[in-house]
Structure 1
Amino acid sequence: MPAVRRLPGSAAVPLTGHRMRVVALTVLVALLVSGCRSTEMLSGHDERVQVVTTTGILQDLVRQVGGDRVTVSSLVPDGADPHSYEPSLRDVRNVVYADVAFSNYLLLEEHAIIKTLDANLRTGVPNISLAEGAVKYAAEIIPMVEDVSLDTIWLGMRVRGTGTADGANRSSDILLSATGVAGPGSLAAYLTESFGNPSFYVNSADGFDPANGFKDDTALLPPDAHTHMSWAFTKPGVYRLTMRAQIAVTPEAKPVPVREQTFTFAVGVDPHSVPAMTGAAVLNSGHADLTVDLDQRRLYLLADPEGGGEADQRVYDPATTVIEVPNKALLEVPGDRKFRFLGRPGSQVHQLPQAVLGKHVHGEIDPHLWQNVRNAIAYVELIRDTLIGIDPDGAGEYRTHATDYIAELERLDTYVRDTIAQIPESQRHLVTTHDAFGYLGDAYGVQISGFVTPNPATEPSLADRRRLTETIRNLDIRAVFLEPNLAARSTTLTEVAGEQGLRICEIYGDSFGGDVRTYVQMMRFNAESLRDCLARPNNGRRQ
């Protein structure tokens, strides 16, 4: 199968580049150790249970339960973003030697991390998805809530269903290819990465090449995933974009085809006047996605025009639906050379914005369960029972450690609740750059009042900055919060905070850093940071 462009959060199918090195290393390590379970066996015998986790937070939870009977490595290092981290060859080696693996999943981790686990764990090694498994231990899950008040429709790409009838699993790749565009100008669908670099996945300006499988206009997503993109059109008029999809169950198997479908855009023209589409439904607000349905093997539009979320989603037939790109979507092309594919600097294009910062691939459920301490307790119980299952001789120690740690987490839950309760309810508003705190807000009474700019690819528009400024003023926001590992992509938030004289405070979401090295430290820090920055008068700026 040909190489393809990958959406962040996915991994390439062909055995080239990183993937080829990963496979080669797996084979080499297996030959070297001849089935030994740990690198330490090369120089000495280690009877401890070898555990690999995807994140440092999970690593800490396992250490608390496993104690001296386990040794734990994390694929994502402290300070890195699990949404975008690409595993190294050393990470592959750790997976090969593992006796058990713990991931969060629910599409928290970069898809390449999940593929590394699934492809390299030895046969029979437990591979535990904690966020899903913890539901059996009374973990509470909440839907991913995305509420960005845009002036236009918010359009992305989505994979719906599991495809299990075709043999698909969480490591499979779904290929979405543009096979043609008809219209008065060029169409580009692109994603802006964490530090403002564009990666575009449909670009009609350079044509479409069926000889190479349309590889230059192909994006990848894992099953049951969703991503945001910007959609740019160089001239007004009617555009028709033809897409096809394929299900790559494994790298070796021939992809399962999904039939082509054509999507219609009315760019800067009356959507009701599109030829041959009289009476068509018009999508011009809320959230919509070009959707691949794996179970039905078809492409369609899935939309909630009123912005109500998953409960209000409806399927729209592309043959009788027009996506409106109004004149208020006009954007001036920035001077940065990275965006020359949109046109000359200063010229105007119609663009539907990406609407969230950076790399963003996710599912329907918010994966950040640990921001509610009660959910972390459910994780610990599942970790305990898993370790007992693979090391029954240590059952007594695992139960004792888990009981002691759960008691500490019970005290932590009370501390977080009591600390946040010191903030007057009218001041419990969290403004940040990352939608990782829904569980914290739901469990402890904090209102998630928004994040920053619809499109980090360019300087935010006056409307974007005005919307943020109005939110801050209307809600009497005392401070904004940055995750230390994401500070480099938060210039708009820091600039507006400076203009409004707000404090800039730290909060931890997915990763440890600085003096925060354990889960308990992280949750105490977050509660105290919220209290210290929101409960006190806004009399200065804290860096």
Structure 2
Amino acid sequence: MAVRAGLRTAAGLAAAGLVLSACAAPETLSASDDRVQVITTTGLLADLVRNIGGDRVNVSSLVPDQADPHSYEPSLRDVRNVVYADVAFSNYLLLEQQAIIKALDANLDAGVPNISLAEGAVKYAAEIIPLVENVALDTIWLGMRVRGTGEQYGANRASDVYLSGTAVDGPGDLVAYLTESFGNPAFYVDSTDGFDAADGYRDDTATLPPDAHTHMSWAFTEPGVYRLTMRATLAPAPDERPVDVGEQTFTFAVGVDPHAVPGMEGADVLGSGHADVTVDIDAGELYLLVDPQGGGDDHAHAEVLDPASTVIEVPNKALHEIPADEGFRFLGHPGDPIFQLPQAVLGRHVHGEIDPHLWHDAGNAISYVELMRDTLIGVDPDGAREYRDNANRYIGELEELDQHVRDTIAEIPESRRHLITTHDAFGYLGAAYDVQISGFVTPNPATEPSLADRRKLAETIRNLRIPAVFLEPNLVTRSSTLTEVADDLSVRVCPIYGDTFDDEVTSYVEMMRFNAESLRSCLSEPAEREQ
């Protein structure tokens, strides 16, 4: 097979010789092997390549099984393998330790394809998820809005519309407020001092002109179900008495399962995007106007939801500790826990990076396979038919895998599909297969959890009555916080595989099947402990 570009230069071989002299391990890739020599960063990527390349490829991975690609440092033997590679595949998007990427980029021969799969797979229809800068911001952004002109009331642009909180039923206090330019809070609804009927519509009230909206923060002092009753009135002119437009009750699930709110089973759950508590002064109604794209009233994606059959989710990732700053005393004492939906101002608050763990959606793995197939064909055109045939067969297997994972997870009651892990690595699994990523110890496995991280994790498990948390086998020695919290709360610790194999799980297909079945087995039964 005439696939090699020729022997390495004398200088390159001399450099490789220096590496060999320092490493007694046997060769994996070789200049004398007629097969295509492929280097990958992880064993998972190597498994995909083997399914496409078959007997025409010889594959080695830099990160060994059971090692963590986030922290693994390549050995001299690893560097030597890079020197002999005809093609290299990395996941990248900062998944791998930087030393691994440097080992590839510095030691690949000139002209050798060096493919970053997570980036390149986008051209093959891979679905990507942004990494959120602060997970507490990745919630519903809820404001207040006036929709319509109110012409039947004689309203004009100088008219005032009042959205007033009249009652709150829940385990704690609710405060809806706006943070002004210099950090001062302007209160709209505040249940801490009750609702004064004698003060009429001006108590606990947002005042807006017709066809306007405002952003705000919503804070809740205790987990549980809150029901906020709001009344809308309109004053056509300053000297005219306001007229009633309508009244409605809005339901919030704060730190608890939004699918299990008593009396609202089967309700719509509003947990992301941009939404407004809206008074329609033309229709005389209060409802939720929702736009997942954040475009507002006239956006093509905006839709109306009935508050009587909608639960607004305030998830456990919205749990904060009240800062020491004096300006936050209205929320409680410094260090006290509080749930808060954030105030939206300038759009979605995300890093520029993309979540690199694309393969937890089997559809994205298919995109990886298609990119690998075309890369191998470019390196070895004589094997084009074999690569295509192998890829087609394997894609069919991955499509069956995708359906199997979907069907298996669907057997878990929706109210129990809550995944808590060591770090933030399973967003694609959650998005593709309808699993709520309800918490993790830290965003990155190399980060030490704080005391606040531990408290938030325990609070999440208690509030959602989660029966099991999930631990990657290769991170057992670095996951004392997760196991200790689980032990304190008497919940199971179940295995889940993230980005590496071991003796039990040796392929990508096995990994995805194992994870789906582990989730079904560990989450299908309710928590048995008393809380």
TM class by shorter chain equals: 0.5 to 0.7
Give the structure 1 partner of residue 437 of structure 2. 448
| Distance apart, 1:82 and its partner CA | 0.7
Residue 416 of structure 1 aligns with an amino acid whose one-letter code is V
Which residue type is aligned with residue 104 of structure 1?
Answer: N
Alignment CA distance shift 1:41-1:464 (3 Å): closer
Matched to 1:495, the amino acid is E
Which one of the candidate residues 456, 476, 488 is aligned to 2:465? Answer: 476
Matches within 5 A, 1:502-517: 502-517=491-506
Q: 1:126 to 1:282 in 2, by over 3 A?
A: farther
Structure 1 position 424 matched with structure 2 position 396: no
1:381 aligns with 2:370: yes
Hey, what's the Cα distance between the residues in 2 that align with 1:459 and 1:115?
28
What letter corresponds to residue 420 of structure 1 in structure 2? I
Give the equivalent residue in structure 2 for 1:66. 53
Select 1:499's aligned residue among 488, 492, 510: 488
Say if 1:505 and 1:97 are closer, same or farther in 2 by CA, change over 3 A.
same
Larger radius of gyration: 2
The match for 1:129 is 116
Match of 2:40 among 53, 57, 74: 53
Instruction: Using the TM superposition, give the Cα deviation of residue 30 of structure 1 relative to its aligned residue in structure 2, in angstroms.
Output: 6.6
Return closer, same or farther for 1:453/1:370 CA change in 2, 3 Å cut-off: closer
- For residue 145 of structure 1, the aligned residue among 110, 115, 132 is 132
Q: Note the C-alpha offset of 1:510.
A: 1.2
Give the aligned partner of residue 369 of structure 1.
358
> Corresponding residue for 1:76?
63
Q: Is the 8 A contact 1:39 1:97 kept in 2?
A: no
Q: Aligned equivalents of 2:463 and 2:485: distance in 1?
A: 14
Q: Note if contact 1:505-1:533 (Cα within 8 Å) is conserved in structure 2.
A: yes
Q: Give me the whole-angstrom Cα distance separating, in 2, the residues matched to 1:380 and 1:107.
A: 20
Letter in 2 for 1:450: G
Q: 1:32 to 1:326 in 2, by over 3 A?
A: closer
CA distance in 2, matches of 1:123, 1:521: 36
Structure 2 distance, partners of 1:504, 1:485, is 14
- The change in CA–CA distance for 1:146 and 1:429 in structure 2 (over 3 A counts) is farther
Cα pair 1:54 1:76 within 8 Å, conserved: yes
Deviates more, 1:78-87 or 1:404-413: 78-87
Task: Describe the SS at the equivalent of 2:400.
Answer: helix
**Other structure's SS at 1:102 match:** strand
Deviations along 1:22-72, one digit per CA (max 9) or x if unpaired, are: xx9974227999xxxx96898x94210000000011000000000010000
Once the two structures are TM-superposed, the CA of residue 149 in structure 1 deviates from its matched residue by 5.1
Letter in 1 for 2:111: G
Counterpart selection for 1:118 from 101, 105, 118: 105
Contact 1:507/1:526 (8 A) holds in 2: yes
Q: Which amino acid in structure 2 is aligned with residue 29 of structure 1?
A: A
| Contact preservation (8 Å) 2:417, 2:523 | yes
Aligned ranges 1:260-409 → 2 under 5 Å: 327=324, 364-409=353-398
Deviation at 1:363, TM superposition (A): 5.9
Q: CA deviation at 1:469?
A: 2.1
Q: CA 1:90/1:26 → structure 2, altered by over 3 Å: closer, same or farther?
A: farther
- What residue number does 1:535 align with? 524
Q: Secondary structure of 1:364's partner?
A: strand
Q: How many residues align structurally?
A: 318
5+ long unaligned stretches in structure 2: 1-10, 21-25, 138-179, 185-215, 219-271, 274-292, 295-321, 327-350
User: Cα 1:379–1:149, aligned 2, differ >3 Å: closer, same or farther?
Assistant: closer
Q: How much has 1:488 moved relative to structure 2?
A: 1.4
Match of 1:17 in 2: none
SS of aligned partner of 2:469: strand
What's 1:249 paired with?
Answer: none
Q: CA 1:118/1:521 → structure 2, altered by over 3 Å: closer, same or farther?
A: same
Question: Are the structure 2 counterparts of residues 60 and 280 from structure 1 closer, same or farther at C-alpha, using a change threshold of 3 Å?
Answer: same
Determine what percentage of the aligned residue pairs are the same residue. Answer: 68
Compare 75-84 and 451-460 and name the one that shifted more: 451-460
Shift, 1:493, TM fit: 1.4
Which residue of structure 2 lines up, in the alignment, with residue 302 of structure 1?
A: none
Matched residue, 2:94: 107
Relative to 1, partners in 2 of residues 1:26 and 1:450: Cα closer, same or farther, differing over 3 Å?
farther
Distance 1:364 1:389 in 2: 29
Question: What CA deviation, in whole Å up to 9, does each residue of 1:327-355 have, x standing for no partner?
Answer: 589xxxxxxxxxxxxxxxxxxxxxxxxxx
Distance 2:28 2:412 in 1: 50
CA contact (8 A) 1:107 1:363 kept: no
Distance of 1:459 and 1:125 partners within structure 2 = 41
User: In 1, are the aligned partners of 2:442 and 2:453 still within 8 Å (CA)?
Assistant: yes
Question: Structure 1: which 5+ residue stretches go unaligned?
Answer: 1-23, 151-278, 284-304, 313-324, 330-361
Contact 1:25–1:93 at 8 Å: present in 2 too? no
Tell me the residue number matched to 1:196.
Answer: none
2-side partners of 1:280 and 1:421: how far apart? 46
Specify whether residues 328 and 457 from structure 1 end up closer, same or farther in structure 2 by C-alpha distance, changes over 3 A only: farther
Partner residue of 1:520 out of 505, 509, 513: 509
Q: Do residues 434 (structure 1) and 423 (structure 2) align?
A: yes
Question: RMSD of the TM alignment (CA)?
Answer: 3.6
Output the CA distance in 2 between the equivalents of 1:379 and 1:485.
24
SS of residue in 2 equivalent to 1:78: coil
SS at match of 2:457: helix
Q: In the aligned structure 2, how far is the partner of 1:381 from the partner of 1:120?
A: 26
Q: Which residue does the alignment assign to 1:93?
A: 80
Tell me the TM-score normalized by structure 1: 0.53
**Contact 1:29/1:93 (<8 A) preserved:** yes
Equivalent residues of 1:40, 1:46 under 8 A apart: no
Contact 2:465 2:527 in 1 (8 A): no
Matched residue type, 1:419: T
Deviation at 1:513, TM superposition (A): 1.5
The question of whether the paired residues in 1 share the 8 Å contact of 2:29 and 2:84 is answered with no
- Structure 1 letter corresponding to 2:507: T
How far apart are 1:145 and its partner, in Å? 2.8
